[in-house]
Amino acid sequence: MRPLDLLWLVPALPIAGAALNGLICLFWPKAGKSTATLIGVGFPGVSMLVALAAIWQYLHGTNPAPFEQTLWSWTAGTFSIPVAFLLDPLSVVMLFVVTFVGFWIHVYSAGYMSHEAGYRRYFAYLNLFMGAMLLLILGNNFLVMFVGWEGVGLCSYLLIGFYFDQSFPPQAGRKAFIVNRIGDFAFLVGMFALFAKYGTLTYSAIFPKVVSAPEALTAPYALGLTFAGFVALCFFIGAMGKSAQIPLYVWLPDAMAGPTPVSALIHAATMVTAGVYMVVRSNAIYQLAPEIGTFVAIIGAFTAILAASIGLVQNDIKKVLAYSTVSQLGYMFLAAGLGAYTAAVFHLGTHAFFKALLFLGSGSVIHAMGGEQDMRKMGGLRKYMPVTFWTFALGTAAIAGVPGLAGFFSKDEILHNTAATGHWGLFAIGLFTAGLTAFYMVRAVAMTFFGKFRGTHDQEHHLHESPWVMTVPLLVLAIGAVGSGWVGIPELLGGGNTFHHFLSPVIAQFPEHAIEHPEMAASTEWLLLIASVAAGLIGIGYAFKLYGGGEFGGASWAKRFPVVYRLLDHKYWVDEIYDRLIVKPLGALSRFLWKGFDDTIVDGSVRALAWATELSAEGGRLSTTGNVRHYALYFFLGVLGLFWWILRS
Amino acid sequence: MSLPHSVPVSWFLVLAALLFAIGVAGALTRRNGIGIFLSIELMLNAVNVELVGYSRLLGERTGQVMVLFVMAVAAAEAAVGLGLFIAVYRQRRTIDVNRLNLMRW
């Protein structure tokens, strides 16, 4: 049996693990933790091994054609959707990232969650998430992707609200779910439009038709857009929700209410990249809608800088990372919108490693601090937890774009493509954001690990390095944060840009609409490279200058620009604006529909009917005297009436 | 013995109508259960008279056969009815239907 033929096991195993742990949870609540760990970590582990074997075989196959495996078909009348999996270069990359990073986060969870109630429930949700995410990336059509898409949304909701006995997490879970639903609606509309046109949702059936007859998609369709533009816009709105872009990014920072490994897995490394994956997957359509592409890029760039600027002033270590994630996702959309799909996926992959690492590192810190997340109460943790410090520092260096590490290559690829397509304004935003990124990350490192400890004496006494089950994943992911960029070293630096060439079969090639890649002079490229490195280094250096000694150097800036500080500290009041403009009016409308419509009109009419029935019954029952002679009289009168009716003419 | 053919059918009808009206009046006004019962029998027999009258007019025997059926049914009904009243009397020591009103609202 070839490993490729076992591809279906990759999503099936985590789902089976979730089912098993869920059933044990229901019927045998007193079961020990060891089986929960065995199932919860073992099933994704085997799934990862199968995935790695399948990837290895795929890469070494003589025929690099995409591999498809059909399990069965959903059929309803003439509507038929295959439940099938696809392995092509794009899903290979995603599969590797999701199973590998996912598995190590599972291992880490076994340590992080070991003292928590609901341990088994946690692993059931986490496994279900893995299964849904794998469905999302392996599906060979949009509907299977959508099933996974909704599945990860559900698991995200469940895990954000994991601590359901507190007040904030369930609220954050609901917010995530509802905001995501707004995007999902648009995604569905896009799928309907595609299905109406092509009668199928399978990638291999749609995209060749798009390439061979692009004129069918560039005709005006709806909302003043072409068909390609309409579908691209709908899909992008879906991606906005899942991948936390303006204006639907508000749920992601709140999602930090869940356990930290969840933030690492779902809200940094995998689920939030689903939108990027979907846009890249549909690149044939996006290439035909350049106006939507530009829109995507602009949204991405603005999300990147907005989130990064908010990240500058956050004091909650997880909030910093959350806004950093939103910002990095913005980078990916910047690239995807400009047609640099491989650069977007490249950054997706490297980001998964270093952001998962950073989140797990922050989890290790929070674990040692006994649940404290405020960086103002940390400090000096370097000497207590060296492994966490060094891996966290490596992750920070990677995201800040220190040359040679993963983030350097992928971010540079994006900035290079932005400049190469002539979008200098977006390039400037990206460059500035790179500086901000370096600044807030180093600020976080300095506040957490440098200076003197600022927590309570009790906390200081308990400071300890995390157990090996948590540090080993940190070390593994640190290797990824360093090395995952080396697969895409650009030609300028003597590399072959292997990653770009590996992914290029996934990018549709239009004979007449070829993506423009104007050649740049090597000197210009060097200049851009130096600029992006400089932006990162300036950010790092300045953050060290302000925070390195353990004091809060940013306070002087806050004093100098109090308005700006308040603006950033309150996250541009976006949550408050949404609350005022959308949530409150919706609430008022709902209350009106509840009290004004449902209670009075709907329930009222039912109550009126009941009242009328009762009244007539009250009157009617008076005729039931129990005296048989009265009944005989009624009968007689009835017969008389009948006679009159028959004889009346 | 047979009635002369000169007896018109209307006589039968008038007699039947009178008997029926007496029966209705009795059934509605009597308070004694047995009285009500008798009145019902009177109504049935009013119908019998009418059936016989038409049977004679039309020279058709079916009407007379119907009368025999009605009589048989009425006899059975009388047996059941009287049985009921005896049972009621044993329970309540009365068959005044005005006082038999357990099934009221």
Mean pLDDT computed over A590-604: 91
Which has the closest alpha carbon to A368: A353, A349, A354, A388?
A388
Q: What angle in degrees, to the nearest 10, is found between the helix axes of A142-160 and A227-242?
A: 20
Residues A152, A170: one domain? Answer: no
Number of domains in chain A: 3
Q: Which of A616, A621, A627 should we substitute to test contact with B (largest number of B Cβ atoms within 10 Å)?
A: A627
Question: How many interface pairs between A and B have CB atoms less than 8 angstroms apart?
Answer: 35
Confidence check: pLDDT of B1 > 60: no
pLDDT digits (tens, 9 = 90+) for A267-277: 888 899 999 99
**Residue A509's CB: how many other CB atoms inside 10 A?**
12
Which one of A502, A535, A569 terminates a domain? A569
Mean pLDDT computed over A535-556: 82
Are the Cβ atoms of B28 and A622 closer than 8 angstroms?
A: no
Residues A191, A245: one domain? Answer: yes
Residues A7, A118: one domain? Answer: yes
Q: What is the pLDDT of residue A644?
A: 94
Residues A542, A409: one domain? Answer: yes
pLDDT digits (tens, 9 = 90+) for A158-191: 999 999 998 999 999 999 999 999 999 999 999 9
- pLDDT band for position A20 (cuts 50, 70, 90): very high
- Does B65 fall in a domain? yes
Pick from A626, A633, A636: which is nearest to B104 by CB? Answer: A626
Residues A474, A550: one domain? Answer: yes
pLDDT digits (tens, 9 = 90+) for A491-521: 777 777 788 888 888 888 877 655 556 567 7
Q: What is the pLDDT of residue A156?
A: 93
Which one of A145, A160, A175 terminates a domain? A160
- pLDDT band for position B4 (cuts 50, 70, 90): low
Question: Cα(A90)–Cα(A396) distance, rounded to whole angstroms?
Answer: 27
Residues A346, A395: one domain? Answer: yes
pLDDT digits (tens, 9 = 90+) for A396-413: 999 998 888 998 999 988
Residues A208, A81: one domain? Answer: no
Structural domain boundaries enclosing B73: 9-93
Which one of A538, A569, A600 terminates a domain? A569
Q: What is the pLDDT of residue B3?
A: 62
Are the Cβ atoms of B104 and A624 closer than 8 angstroms?
A: yes
Number of domains in chain B: 1
Are the Cβ atoms of B36 and A629 closer than 8 angstroms?
A: yes
Confidence check: pLDDT of A299 > 70: yes
Are the Cβ atoms of A627 and B104 closer than 8 angstroms?
A: yes
Domain containing residue B80: CATH number: 1.10.287.3510
Q: What is the pLDDT of residue A498?
A: 82
A10-14, A465-469, B16-20: least confidently modelled range: A465-469
Residues 13-72 of B with CB under 8 A from A: 24, 27-29, 31, 36
Confidence check: pLDDT of A52 > 90: yes
Confidence check: pLDDT of A104 > 90: yes
Q: Which residues of B touch A636 (CB under 8 A)?
A: 24, 28
Which has the closest alpha carbon to A271: A136, A127, A112?
A136
Residues A436, A488: one domain? Answer: yes
- Does B105 fall in a domain? no
Residues A600, A460: one domain? Answer: no
Pick from B24, B98, B102: which is nearest to A636 by CB? Answer: B24
Residues A281, A426: one domain? Answer: yes
Residues A287, A399: one domain? Answer: yes
Which has the closest alpha carbon to A157: A177, A132, A183, A128?
A177
Residues A555, A579: one domain? Answer: no
Q: Which residues of A touch B84 (CB under 8 A)?
A: none
Question: Cα(A302)–Cα(A430) distance, rounded to whole angstroms?
Answer: 9
Could you report how far apart the first and last alpha carbons of chain B are, in Å? Answer: 55
- Does B31 fall in a domain? yes
Mean pLDDT computed over A234-263: 92
Minimal CA separation from A608 to chain B, in Å? 24
A301-315, A460-474, A495-509: least confidently modelled range: A495-509
Pick from B24, B31, B103: which is nearest to A626 by CB? Answer: B103
- Does B83 fall in a domain? yes
Structural domain boundaries enclosing A117: 1-160
- pLDDT band for position A63 (cuts 50, 70, 90): low
Q: Which residues of B touch A627 (CB under 8 A)?
A: 97-98, 100-101, 104
Residue A260 · residue A219 · CB < 8 Å: no
User: Whole-model pTM?
Assistant: 0.80
Confidence check: pLDDT of A649 > 80: no
3-state helix, strand, coil in chain A (%, to 5): 75, 5, 20
pLDDT digits (tens, 9 = 90+) for A198-222: 888 999 889 988 888 888 888 888 8
Q: Which helix (H) or strand (E) holds A79?
A: strand A79-87
Q: What is the pLDDT of residue A550?
A: 67
Q: What is the pLDDT of residue A518?
A: 59
pLDDT digits (tens, 9 = 90+) for A283-292: 999 998 889 9
Minimal CA separation from B91 to chain A, in Å? 17
- Does B43 fall in a domain? yes
Confidence check: pLDDT of A323 > 90: yes
Q: What is the pLDDT of residue B23?
A: 93
